[in-house]
Every structure is written in structure tokens, then in C-alpha cells.
Chain A
Amino acid sequence: MIIKAIISVVAFLVLGPFLGGLLAGLDRKLSAKMQRRVGPPVLQPFYDVGKLFQKEKQTPTRFQDFYVILFVVFIIASGVLFFMGGDLLLVIFTLTIGAAFLIIAAYSSNSPYAELGAERELLAMMAYEPMVLITVIGFYMYGGSFRVSEIMAADNMAFLPLIGIFFGWVFILTLKFRKSPFDLSMSHHAHQELVRGATTEFVGRTMGWIEISHWYENVFLLGFVFLFFANGTAWGWIIGIVVALLTYFFEVFIDNCFARMKWQFAFKSAWVVAVVLGMINLFVLYICF
């Protein structure tokens, strides 16, 4: 059990960024194909980060690095806790604190663009947080445990009983991945009205670290999708991984189909989804189990 946990943690630490980077590369390639372009090489995200690490070191304030380091540490820590089979609530709180430090890092520069990005990121956080918590609670109400290891070892797939929550989770993944229509706070593509939003003031290697943490985060978030299908059998693994990948490509598809929406829509829709899909699903669980 412990050995298994150690192996998965090491695998996450080593393979996480590769998988995340690869997914990001596939995302860009796929987006290009959808727009009838050739697109960059699949390894492009790695080149980007490599380049960022080779740039001159700069910072707007000597306090920013501290927050960024904490962001990186806690995002990775949340993934580690998840893959070692830890407590889901703890995982979520760690993820939240990571996200909080990114926001603080952006605030610390006192740059108008970064601050506006930070505030929008904050709004996004408020929008998706209820659904995240409901997801975790849903797993608990169905399986009786917050521990990932026990959910993984459960006999039944949580997907069907948690189907509302599953779609709610997929919905807020758009917010978490910062994809259109909810790429309010920062965006990878082209211009936006806030320059680069929350990441405006991160230069060179700082930005590189943020990219890497996002890779970790994305892998971990898809791990959550996988969790809906885990039932301790090989089929569970296969279905889980396939659906996780499909979800990712679905997000890419949505990204390419929509323009950016206003924050009002992002906020309201996320809460409505949390109430309609999440809370009703919880209520049904409460009645049936």
C-alpha cells in the first residue's frame, strides 16, 4: 500500500509535468487543426518553458518570488496528496491555498493589469469553489470516505450516482483550465484586454515555474475526472483514462467554439450549475443512500 503510494507520487512528480506539457502541446495542435492551421510542434510548450528559463531574471518587487514559490509548492503538494491517496478535502484546501498565493503574487506587484487579472482570478475562484466542494462531498456521501485510496478501491463506479456532479465538475474545469468562455483572468492566446492578466508581471523563470505548475495542476484535475470511474478493475482504469482525455479535448473544443464571456455570466452560470447539478445530486444521494 505504502509502496504503491510512493510509486504514484514519484510518478506524478516526474511524469506530471511531461504529461501536462504534452497535453498543452496537443491542445495547441488540436486548436490549430480546428482552425485549419498547421500549428506549433507538439513539444512547443516545453520549448516555451525552456526559453522562459533562459531569459534574463527580473521581478517587479522583491516580495513576489516568495508568493510564487509557495504557489508552486502548494499546487504540487495538492497533486502529491491526491496521488498518494490522501484526503480529498485536504487536497482541495491545498489547491485553494496554492491558487490564493498566485493571486497574492499578482497583487503584490501593484500593477493595474496584474491586479485586475488577480481580481478576476479571485472571482473565478469564488465561482468554481462551491462545485469543487460539492464534488468532494458527493464522493464522500456515495463512498463513505474522503480518502482517494479508498475511493479508488471501491467496488462501484461513482460515475452514475454522481452524474450531475460529474457534469458540474466538467463545467467548472473550463474555469479551472482558464479556457474560453471563462478565460477571464489570464489567457495563453493572443491579446486580451488585460494584457496578460494576472501573469503580466511574471518575467522569465518565474513565468516558467507558473507554466510548470499549471501542467501539474491540469494533470491533477484530470485525475479527478478519472476518480469518477475508478472501481478497482482494469476496465475502470481504461474508462477513466479515456474519459479524462476526452474531457480534456472537450474543453479544447469548447475553448475554440466560444468567445470570452463577461464575468457576470461566469459567476452566475457556475453557481447555477453548482446548485442545479451539484446540490440536487447531493440531495438525491442523501435520499437514496
Chain B
Amino acid sequence: MGTIVFLILFPMIVAFILLVVKSDKGRDVIVIAGSVIIAAMSIVVAIQFAAGGGDYFSFNGEVIGYIMMAVEAGLCIYICITSAMHRKWLAFIFAIIQTPLIMWFEFSRGHGIEVESNLYVDRLSIIMILIIGIIGTLIAVYALGYMKDFQHHEDEKGNKDRRPWFFFVMFLFLGAMVGLVTSNNMIWMYFFWEITSLSSFWLIGYTKTEEATNNAFRALIMNLLGGLGFAVGIVILGIVFQTVEMSTMLLIGSVYGDLVAIPAAFFAFAGITKAAQMPFNSWLLGAMVAPTPTSALLHSSTMVKAGVFMIIKLAPVLGMSNFAGIMTMMVGGITFLFASCAAISQVNAKRVLAYSTIANLGLIVACGGVGTAGAVWAGIMLIIFHAITKSLLFLCVGTAEHHIGSRMIEDMDGLFNKMPRLAMCMIIGIAGMFLAPFGMLISKWGCMVAFVDSGNVLLIGCICFGSAVTAFYWLKWMGKLTAVVAGEESIEYDVHRTETFVHITLVVLVVLVCLLFPLLSSYLLVPYLEITFGGLAGGIMSSGNMLIMVIMVAVIVLLALFGFGKSKKPTVPIYLAGANTGDNRTYYGSMQKEVQFALRNWHMEKYFGEHKMNLIGDVLCVAMLVIGLGYMIATLVSLMGGIA
């Protein structure tokens, strides 16, 4: 238990130290040391609890509850004041409703409810802790170098150095995330949930430009709406079922699935907002204005992962073919399809990544909604692979942006020559996102089997068409990166050492996870699923298939090590209708004038325009949410009527 509490509190302590340290050097030392300790501790936790399958800790104390409540009240007042100052009344209203609601509940009913254990660790939390502890801290280390360059630009604009604040929020975020994935008491979880919402608000609004502030408030409003759902869920859970514990709720759910589905639907709704599913995807896209480490953090190891963690956690209840489950899986499936489609029309690399995140989260959410052991297996695999590859890709784009001065994919022409190492990292990242033997497709395999087993034909349609679209937008980007453009010099000499270190580490992690995922599956996932679902219902990849996948990755890695770029054939100029001037980039036009050609990608705005895709997705998802939640509320009302 000590290690868990340490993992929650230590990042917060580091955060407060970082708030007061102003020198670059001091910050470097503290961030690196803190990161090493957090990463090491998360591995310790993994080793400590993995074999035993985890534990529940009572960790009782009135004081802690009161501290949390005080902090919550403080945050509520802070949100109210800030939103009033910026005239964002929606945020004001959401904040002013939910915190008093929770407080009223705690004071009036909360005391009567016996909480057996507030904290717990199981194999799913171990996986999440590893992701937060390793990926999250790697991003923090990367941010050191990145923020130096970033501040350099800010200095030119005359903006003051607010990096202590940035790193403070980052570490606070990590601590809150660990708390979130280890809380068994839903009120505690709600507390951490609100902190992550607020942290992301601060991180997105970091630059304090008008756009940043607006987008930060959009994120805050949507997450507060989710928080409201969370609070309502807690109240229903407490009043109807006399418990605020996740474990108890799941236990009751295994018997009274239809009833527990009512609070579960509200929790799932909270998860859906946090996981940026349609119609709430705009906050994650707006978050792209923030410095790249923020995006990486929000997308890979924290924030959105909290949302899907919630839904994966609820999977056993959602999987009992009730409306909450159907709502969740349809929202996930629809989001996957339309977010993937929208990604095609994007030219901005960060927006492509954002849409792909939304799409992948959609898959995870759908997996949670299907809620069979196989689906959850696929969902957790997706969480793992997505965290590693997406952080790698974001951090690569960040470095590329600082060196080529653009985050547009079209400007990445010749990156293979300009920044070979970085381009290779990106290629590996993209391969990890969709190519077969690499991670993501393993999980997609699992999803497909799970969806077919669920018998939901619409969901099958979503994944069939969505997968095809996914391959399109990744491959066209990958093609751009692999294109060898002659005559470009390497400009890779002044990349920060920390950035390169993080890139390489993540690449190694991608390859390692791809090679070792069968072990991951059999030592962490399968035991977790067996406990949660009481045996496996199938739909999990057979060991033979896993072996084939691993062999494929090994073949690619070996071929790459021995054969990449080692062709001994003489290199000849490309065919430009006989008018190549010899440099492979220009041709003789009319009057023998030298003309440079440029190659551009295909965006199919007419078919996959962002606006259109969002509109369709939003309408469908809103319909699903209204039907799902409406049905739940109706059930609840009739139930209460019955009791009265």
C-alpha cells in the first residue's frame, strides 16, 4: 500500500518543488530525477502486485475525506471565479451544480455508507500505472528540451517564462492519474477525476492566447459535463445501492446487471466525455493549440486514458446486454468510423494524430461496451499499444515542428533526408499504429472477433469500413515520410539530447511490446480477465497466432537491421518523362526552363470533409446517448415510483 500512496503523493511533491524552482538546470535535474524515481516505483509496484493479482486497501481516515472535500470546494470556487471572469457561464453552471451535489450527498448520505476499502490494485491498474509511470515521465523528460525551444520563441514575443507552472501541472497530472486508477471509492475517484480535468484545462490554456483560452474552456466545459454525469452516478449508486465502492458495484452488477446499468450508464457517460468521443471530440482537437508535450500527455498516458479506463472497468456490467452497454458500444463504434474518416481530410499532422486518437479510443470504448472477456482483452491491448505509439508520434511531430518550422504533413517532404533518425522513429510509430504484426492490428484483430461475437452487425460495419479508412490515412503519411527526396541535407545536428533519448526509448518500447505481447497477455491480461469475468469466454488470440505475429515482427526487425538501405544496386535517376535535370526534383519545362515538381497527398475533402463527418457522427452519437441515458432515467423513475 505504501508504494501506491507514494506513487500518488510523490509526483505531487515533485510538482510543488518544480513550481518554485526557476533555473533551467535545477528543473532539468529535478524532472529527470523525479521521473526516474516514478518510473522505477511503478515497476516496483508492478513486480510487487503482479504475481498476487493485486489487493484492496482500506486506508481509512476521516481526515483524508475532509481534505479532499476542502480541495474540491476550493477547486469549485476557482472554476466559478475563472469562468465568471471569462464569461464562460456553462462551466460556471456545471461546476456550481456538481460540487454541491457531491457535498450534499457526502454529508447527508455518505456517512451512513460503510466504505471497506478506498484503494486497490489489480492487474489492470498495474498496466495503467506502468503506462503513467513510464510513458508519462518520458514525456515530461522530453518536455524539458522542447519547452526550452518553445520558451525561446515565447521570449521573442515578450511572453514571460511560465515553465515552472507547466511542469507543476504535468507532475500533478501524473499523481492524479495514479490516484484515479487505484481508487476503489468512487468519491475518491471523482476527486482525482476533477483534478485531471482541471490540469488539462491549465495545460491547454498554457499559452494564454485567446484561442488557447477558448479551447481550454471548451475542454473544461465538456469535462465538467462528464463530471456532472459522474456525480449523478455516485448519487444514484449511493442512494439505490448503498455503496460508493467500485468493487461492490461490479459485484452487485454481476447479479442485478440491469439495475446497476443505471449508475453505470452515467459513469460511462463521464468516460465518454473524457475519452473525447463524439459529440465531445472537439475538446481534444482544440487541445492541439497547446505545446506538443501536452498533446502527447493528454493522448497517450493520461486524461483520455482515464475515460477509457473507466469504461473498461465497467465492462462486466456493460456487457450484460443492457442499454448502457449498447449506448457505449455504439458511441464508440460510430466515433471510430467517423473520426477515422475525418482524419483523411486533415493536413495538420497533429490533427491527424488527434483524430486517430479519438478513433482508437472509440474502439476501446466499443470494446468496453461489448464487455466480453475477449473484447476487454482487445481494449486493454489497444490502451497499451496506443499509449506507446501515440506518444512516440506526438513527440516526433513536436521535434519535427521545431526543426522544419511546420506541423503540416505536406511540409514533411524529404524528412527522410533532412532528419533521418526522426523520420525512422516516426515510420516505426506509424507502423505501430496500423500495420499487421505491430501492436495496433493485434488489438484490432481482437476487436473484430469480439464485435462479431457480440452479434452487433452495425458495429461490425463500423470496424470494417473504419479499418479500411485508417490504413489510408496512415499509409499516405508513411509514404510521405519514406519518400527519399534527393538533395536534402541533414539538419538533425541540434536536436536536444533528451528528445532523442525519449524517441529512441519509445521506439525500443514499441518493438519490445510487439515482441513480448504474448507474455503481457498471459501474465497480466488473462489472469485479470479470469478474475473479472470468472473464466474466459474465448475471443482471445490463440497462442499459435500470437507466435506467428511475433515471428513477423522479428522478421521485419531483422530484415531492417541487415537490409535497410544496404542495396548494392547502382542508383539511377527517376523517370521524369526524359526531362529530369539530373537532381530528381526538377525537370526541363518549356523553353528548357527548369521547373521543380511537388508531390501532394490526397485529402478527399469532398468525401471525408471534417465538418461533414463530425456532423454525422455527432448526430448519431447524441441520438445514442439520449436514448441510452433517457432509458436509464426512465427506468430509475419507474423504480423509485415502485419503491414509493
Contacts and interface: CB of A to CB of B under 8 A. Distances in A.
A133 B548 contact: no
Contacts of B576: 111-112
A54 to B, nearest CB: 15
Interface in B446-475: 448-449, 452, 455, 457, 460-461, 463-465, 467-469, 471-472, 475
Contacts of A271: 465
B384 to A, nearest CB: 19
B244 interface: no
Interface in A86-122: 86-87, 89-90, 93-94, 96-97, 100, 103-104, 106-115, 118-119, 122
B187 to A, nearest CB: 42
B545 interface: yes
Interface stretch (B61-69, B386-394, B500-508, B597-605): B597-605
A70 B484 contact: no
Nearest to A106: B479
B573 interface: yes
A253 interface: no
B468 A283 contact: no
Given A60-B571, A118-B479, A274-B465, 14 more contacts: A57-B570, A60-B584, A62-B566, A62-B567, A63-B484, A65-B569, A66-B559, A97-B437, A104-B479, A122-B476, A125-B472, A129-B464, A267-B607, A282-B461
Interface string B551-569: 0100110011001111101
A126 B469 CA distance: 6
A140 B565 contact: no
A77 B566 CA distance: 23
A81 B548 contact: yes
B445 A125 contact: no
Contact of B564 (A58, A66, A134): A66
The 4 closest A-B pairs by CB, nearest first: A107-B479, A129-B468, A93-B436, A111-B574
B552 A112 contact: no
A108 B471 contact: no
Contact of A112 (B448, B449, B475, B597): B597
A59 B569 CA distance: 6
A100 B548 contact: no
Contact of B475 (A66, A74, A104): A104
B483 interface: yes
Nearest to B584: A110
Nearest to A201: B574
B452 to A, nearest CB: 5
11 contacts: A60-B574, A60-B584, A89-B445, A97-B437, A110-B483, A118-B479, A119-B602, A123-B472, A133-B468, A146-B449, A286-B455
A141 interface: yes
B457 A286 contact: yes
Contacts of A278: 464
B572 interface: yes
A221 interface: no
B471 to A, nearest CB: 6
Interface residues of B, number: 59
Contacts of A108: 479, 482-484
Interface string B525-560: 000000000000000001001001100100110011
Interface of A: 57-67, 69-70, 73-74, 77, 81, 86-87, 89-90, 93-94, 96-97, 100, 103-104, 106-115, 118-119, 122-123, 125-130, 133-134, 137, 140-141, 146, 195, 200-201, 203, 267, 271, 274-275, 278-279, 282-283, 286
A103 B484 contact: no
A118 B435 CA distance: 17
Contacts of A97: 435-437, 552
A57, A93, A106, A115 — most chain B CB neighbours (10 Å): A93
A109 B472 contact: no
B37 interface: no
Given A94-B552, A119-B601, A201-B574, A89 B449 contact: yes
Contact of A130 (B445, B468, B484, B564): B468
B574 A109 contact: yes
A58 B484 CA distance: 16
Nearest to B344: A126
Interface in B582-629: 584, 597, 599, 601-602, 607
B478 interface: yes
A137 B463 CA distance: 11
B569 A62 contact: yes
B480 interface: yes
Contacts, number: 178
A89 B472 contact: no
Interface of B: 435-437, 441, 445, 448-449, 452, 455, 457, 460-461, 463-465, 467-469, 471-472, 475-476, 478-480, 482-486, 542, 545, 548-549, 552, 555-556, 559-560, 563-567, 569-577, 584, 597, 599, 601-602, 607
Contact of A66 (B445, B465, B560, B602): B560
Nearest to A267: B607
A119 B476 contact: yes
Contacts of B479: 103-104, 106-108, 115, 118-119, 122
Nearest to A126: B472
Nearest to A275: B461
A58 B570 contact: yes
B574 A140 contact: no
A86 B452 contact: no
Contacts of B597: 112
Contacts of B463: 133
Nearest to A205: B569
Contact of B545 (A87, A103, A111, A282): A87
B456 to A, nearest CB: 9
Nearest to B434: A100
A140 B461 CA distance: 15
Contact of B467 (A74, A94, A133, A283): A133
A107 B486 CA distance: 13
Nearest to B607: A267
Contacts of A93: 436, 441, 445
A90 B445 contact: yes
Contacts of B601: 119
A123 B602 contact: yes
Contacts of A122: 471-472, 475-476, 479, 602
A164 B437 CA distance: 31
Contacts of B475: 100, 103-104, 122, 125
B605 to A, nearest CB: 13
A77 B471 contact: no
Contacts of B457: 279, 282-283, 286
A115 B599 contact: yes
Given A69-B563, A109-B574, A137 B483 contact: no
A274 B468 CA distance: 12
Nearest to B483: A110
Contact of A96 (B436, B464, B465, B560): B436
